[in-house]
Amino acid sequence: MNNWLYVSAYVNANYEIHKLGKAKDWPWSSYPEYKGTKRHSMSLKDIECLGPEVNKEIILKQFENINSYNEFTNRVISNSIEVKDTIKECLIE
């Protein structure tokens, strides 16, 4: 399950990881839904068709609360940016 947690955070924060803006502000991001600040526009039937992997409740159950998920996602953002920057420096040298 740990890989799914990382993938969920990475996908939700992808916009920010690639320095395009804040993930919470990207209109197509599901991150606000995971944070509890926005409801997804897809119907329950559409979500069920995508399979259990996209059910946010499965992911969020692994954390003590929404704030714990947000902290985890912020660490994924920081770590991913650091790794990307390190790789970029190595390629330039």
Give the closest residue to 12 by CA, choosing from 1, 25, 43, 2: 25
Looking at the chain, the whole-number percentage of residues with pLDDT higher than 90 is 39
Contact 66, 60 (CB under 8 A): yes
Q: Is 16 exposed, middle or buried (0-12, 13-18, 19+ CB in 10 A)?
A: buried
Domain ranges of the chain: 2-92
**pTM score:** 0.75
Residue 54 pLDDT class (50, 70, 90 cuts): low
What's residue 39's pLDDT?
Answer: 59
Give the closest residue to 20 by CA, choosing from 68, 84, 64, 66: 84
R_g of the chain computed on alpha carbons: 14
29: pLDDT strictly greater than 60: yes
Residue 77 pLDDT class (50, 70, 90 cuts): very high
